[in-house]
Structure 1
């Protein structure tokens, strides 16, 4: 009996010991948050929204690679990179659809950002706030940012997965048409407009405002040729209540670290050189822009991207009112005659590059550095008011209100001491097609190198026919590789197509 009791006691001890050991192994790391631990407080909600903004510092987006897709693939830029595959992805020569730097990284970061937006939109409504208006403001920022990333998904890939809820690794989201993607963008931005403030205090500068949402909505609607709705969106910024917040400033102030978040800025990415480290999600990860490093002239940066020389010629076609060169050229491009024309050297050097070469100057730091690095603190003015005014003019023209459109082009031209449009080009009159053709030139002169040209070419239909592509190819021979009906959009990463039976590769790939 005693032996049985001892044996039973030993077995109980073993069982308890085993149970204790198991519970010890199953303990959660107290430093690791789960979704159940995190989405509880107002501070959690704020951090969740901040994590979406942090996606601007990832390589696939506005930190680095998206400029290759938006600027270099357009007729404004090109690549002579010794990295052949990288250059091929600006020349419409897509062989490996899984090329990381040309396709997969940007696609991944777009959907990583969308995932973070969806996390906020699903979890923040469950959190109790002392002020419900603050909750609505955070949700509106998440809606704006989700629309922002779907906007670029529509511009680049068009027919992408529709993901509007938090996904798990086993989910197989359906593929949407580009029209369905635009519907998400339009809906999110209309929701965001209702919750976003018109302005923020200085400590919160850089967050999405009501004006930013109206402007991005207008951009999306213009791509769909919904001109009446576009005008309604732009009215708030140009003729309505929002016009008090925006105006034009000194042109060069839009591309330097001085005078950032000024009155011309509608939406601006806040870059910083505080952390000279690698990109990532850590608290000390790089928050700078890599663009100047990759777009700087040879021996100053990596020189993987440069400007087409026809842009220089375009600036010199028309003199200012006082007979000089369009002053925007001075701050838009590096080119051989820059020192002769304006007295400016290139990162402290006289010209030492090819006689037919040009480089993008916007967002460079040549005004105080002799080289570039991965940590540019110059904010990217994604949407500025000059763009809004030119969009408004385009919209009015498409609605048959050409006579009214002149004044908004003239505001932009006047800043650069250019004559009124009717004085410089009287033959345009009220001819819609002639006005549109001139507006194409006005947008190049004002906005070249600002990542809007690819969307412009698509919106104008310049890439829809072989005749249109041939005309573009006269400015940029890379377009000799462009295939109508195919090259207008990027291929989806093939890994995504293979892993999700609901996805089909884009047409003709």
Structure 2
């Protein structure tokens, strides 16, 4: 799936068998952390390189009439479709399984256990040791937060060995998992620095800003908007990040921009993906190997409703062929072509952008609207709109929360946020707008937005129970 050379994320995870001899110095600790990032990247690239977007974008109003194998079921939220246990490569099975998340978690559990045992004099400084340990706590918090947004209740494992030993572990309540996330991310904040030891690590390794961004999102997901607002201010007040000019909007997705807070590295010259979101959303002339329509067609009604201002630079710079019946998003069009055995293979070099400044600004605006601090909320919302070249929003306060979710839809289109934004919208206002009758209000209230667990996992782990909404449907 991925093509890469000797880079930070190519470090292999550490196995249990090598623990006793491995953890000796700073270089070993760094390799251990690199394994955690590598496994997270693998997880977000499962299901044909699409998992991050298939969870966060595909089942929303961004897309319509997806016909690609299994991704049509994912798009229409028909997540209970039967898949044979032997079909481990089936995208639906991969999306319903959380094995890869736990591989990443086991790796960082190992880092959390062993890095503190390495003598201080084996590190270049105490700051280096603290940053490595902080990255481990950040990664564990991120993996669990990501999982609980997908499945709700998930098994909570904070010790090494339990997963490898195939211990049967029941699902913990989402509230318990999120409590662990809060504990871990606050530990990460206490350990991490703002600055990077190396400029090449910008955004692709966690720093204090990454941890605060994760914390703000956890609070928003919990509906704790008071703390969400306060946490967003920790990032904004530091002035560590700056907007990228919307004239150069596409530079964000090449990675490591001034706006990037946390990203998954895969944009380097010796990195990149053969199968990923670019392959499914682009076409000629941006993807020369596809002379037909985009595999995943965008919902033209959504585009018209979201981008209702012709001066919006995000639309003019991040979309193409907009006057056709098959417009495309070109955020992920940083592509090179490799010749081999008479086959031309496109390789996309785009980081997965997890958190960036505009995301956090709009999250703050969302929090302020939820707290009925409407004037302050409008100020932040209009700041983002002004950067994009559009005028102030002038609607009623009663519609402000939804307007901010729509603004996030414009700003963060195809960046893995839309599905979770719409869940928060539904929880806060009762407004359901996933598109094309993908989810009714009654289904939403019954928890349809949480994914089922693949039955194959329930055979392996006897203590697992099915996600409540899907329990009678699989």
What is the TM-score when the length of structure 2 is the normalising length? Answer: 0.82
Matched-pair contact (CA < 8 Å) for 2:45–2:276: no
Q: Which of 33, 57, 60 is the equivalent residue of 1:71? A: 57
CA distance in 2, matches of 1:434, 1:122: 48
Q: Which of 68, 73, 97 is the equivalent residue of 1:88? A: 73
CA distance in 1, matches of 2:370, 2:115: 41
Match of 2:460 in 1: 499
CA distance in 2, matches of 1:115, 1:253: 39
Deviation for aligned residue 1:57: 3.6
**SS of equivalent residue, structure 1 residue 375:** strand
Match of 2:261 in 1: 266
Q: Which of 323, 343, 359 is the equivalent residue of 1:387? A: 359
CA distance in 2, matches of 1:389, 1:215: 10
**1:51-450 matches, cutoff 5 A:** 51-58=35-42, 60-61=44-45, 63-78=49-64, 80-83=66-69, 85-93=70-78, 94-96=80-82, 100-104=90-94, 107-130=98-121, 131-166=125-160, 167=162, 168-200=164-196, 201-205=198-202, 206-238=204-236, 240=237, 242=238, 244-251=239-246, 253-256=248-251, 260-272=255-267, 274-275=269-270, 290-297=276-283, 300-301=289-290, 303-318=294-309, 324-337=310-323, 355=325, 357-365=326-334, 375-421=347-393, 425=394, 427-428=395-396, 431=397, 433-450=398-415
**SS of equivalent residue, structure 2 residue 456:** helix
**SS of equivalent residue, structure 1 residue 161:** coil
Deviations 1:136-159 (A, max 9, x none): 211110111111111210111111
Residues 47 and 489 (structure 1 numbering): CA distance in 2 closer, same or farther, change over 3 Å?
same
**SS of equivalent residue, structure 2 residue 423:** helix
Deviations 1:185-213 (A, max 9, x none): 11111110111110213133221011111
**SS of equivalent residue, structure 1 residue 307:** coil
CA distance in 1, matches of 2:117, 2:314: 50
Deviations 1:241-299 (A, max 9, x none): x1x212211126453478742221111222145457xxxxxxxxx66772211322387
Is 1:38 matched up with 2:22? yes
CA distance in 2, matches of 1:51, 1:317: 44
**SS of equivalent residue, structure 1 residue 72:** coil
Deviations 1:413-440 (A, max 9, x none): 111221223xxx2x42xx2x32112212
What is the TM-score when the length of structure 1 is the normalising length? Answer: 0.77
Residues 306 and 68 (structure 1 numbering): CA distance in 2 closer, same or farther, change over 3 Å?
farther
Q: Which of 11, 22, 31 is the equivalent residue of 1:47? A: 31
Q: Which of 461, 470, 483 is the equivalent residue of 2:443? A: 483
Deviation for aligned residue 1:36: 1.4
Residues 221 and 127 (structure 1 numbering): CA distance in 2 closer, same or farther, change over 3 Å?
same
Structure 2, unmatched stretches of 5+, are 1-14
Residues 372 and 269 (structure 1 numbering): CA distance in 2 closer, same or farther, change over 3 Å?
farther
Match of 1:451 in 2: 416
CA distance in 1, matches of 2:169, 2:209: 32
For the aligned residues, what is the CA RMSD?
A: 3.1
Deviation for aligned residue 1:303: 4.3
Runs of 4+ in 1 over 6 A off after TM superposition: 286-289, 366-369
Match of 1:28 in 2: none
**SS of equivalent residue, structure 1 residue 483:** helix
Greater RCO between the two (CA within 8 Å, min separation 6)? 2
Matched-pair contact (CA < 8 Å) for 1:61–1:109: no
Matched-pair contact (CA < 8 Å) for 2:335–2:348: no
Matched-pair contact (CA < 8 Å) for 1:296–1:372: no
**SS of equivalent residue, structure 2 residue 355:** strand
Residues 450 and 165 (structure 1 numbering): CA distance in 2 closer, same or farther, change over 3 Å?
same
Deviation for aligned residue 1:160: 1.0
Matched-pair contact (CA < 8 Å) for 1:147–1:184: yes
Aligned length, in residue pairs: 431
CA distance in 2, matches of 1:258, 1:454: 20
Deviations 1:296-335 (A, max 9, x none): 23874594433211232124523xxxxx432211233334
CA distance in 1, matches of 2:306, 2:462: 49
